[in-house]
Amino acid sequence: MFVILVYDANEKRVQKFHKICKKYLTWVQNSVFEGEISEANLRILIDELEEIMDIKEDSILIYKFRTKKYYDRETIGIPKPSHEDLFI
Amino acid sequence: MFVILVYDANEKRVQKFHKICKKYLTWVQNSVFEGEISEANLRILIDELEEIMDIKEDSILIYKFRTKKYYDRETIGIPKPSHEDLFI
């Protein structure tokens, strides 16, 4: 399945969120990741995020698609850093 | 067409972004909006956002779909406020 994952995390935890998501998905922009993932791996990813998140402050939103069906993705403004490790 | 719009804006402009997006789309969570919109209205929405955004600090990401095709949306953590005007 194809997913788009958006998180909103307290600044203190943003890098941890990023690091975990990067293991399973492709970084698109800021707090947005996307990619093909199995249901099983998605559960593991969510478990890992839940371990570090503060449910009173952070949130995760996941859109699930049977296949990669979007026909366009448009970005306006700052692009993601060309070398994403800068972020880490 | 159906779109998912995610913005990342400097704190100073977040409320303005929210207010503009709300005119055209439905608020899902934090900086995420979704909804049916015509290509023409999407252009107007983007124009309005570009007027207030600082392209060196802010960004907008838009996924476009021919129809509302996602089969599931999962949220974990803080829900959006039940009365969204609290945000404004």
CA distance linking residue A8 with residue B30, whole number of Å = 7
CB of B62 within 8 Å of a chain A CB? The answer is: yes
Question: Strands B2-8, A72-77: parallel, antiparallel or unpaired by DSSP?
Answer: unpaired
**Residue numbers in A near B76 (CB within 8 A):** 46, 49-50, 53, 55, 59-60, 62
pLDDT for res B37: 96
Tell me the percentage of chain A whose pLDDT exceeds 90. 62
> Could you tell me if B14 lies within 8 Å of chain A, comparing CB atoms?
no
Instruction: Flag whether pLDDT at A84 surpasses 70.
Output: no
Tell me the mean pLDDT in the region A26-32. Answer: 91
Q: Please determine, for residue A16, whether its predicted confidence score (pLDDT) is greater than 90.
A: yes
Average pLDDT, integer, range A51-64: 93
Separation of alpha carbons B53 and B74, rounded Å: 29
Establish if A50 touches chain B: CB-CB under 8 angstroms.
yes
- Using the Cβ of A71 and the Cβ atoms of chain B, whether some distance falls under 8 Å is answered with yes
In whole numbers, what is the pLDDT of chain A averaged over residues?
A: 87
pLDDT at B2 over 80: yes
Proportion of chain A above pLDDT 70, given as a percent: 85
Q: What does the pLDDT look like over B32-67, one tens digit per residue?
A: 999 999 999 999 999 999 999 998 899 999 999 887
Predicted pLDDT at B61: 95
Residue in B70, B71, B73, B80 to test binding to A, most A beta-carbons within 10 Å: B70
Query: How many CB contacts within 8 angstroms connect chain A with chain B?
Result: 115
**Domains of chain B (ranges, CATH numbers):** 2-66 (3.30.70.240)
Burial (Cβ within 10 Å: 0-12, 13-18, ≥19) of residue B63? buried
CA A74 to chain centre: 17
Assign residue B26 a region (left: φ > 0; alpha: ψ between -120 and 50; beta: otherwise). Answer: beta
Distance in angstroms (rounded) separating the CA atoms of residues B13 and A14: 20
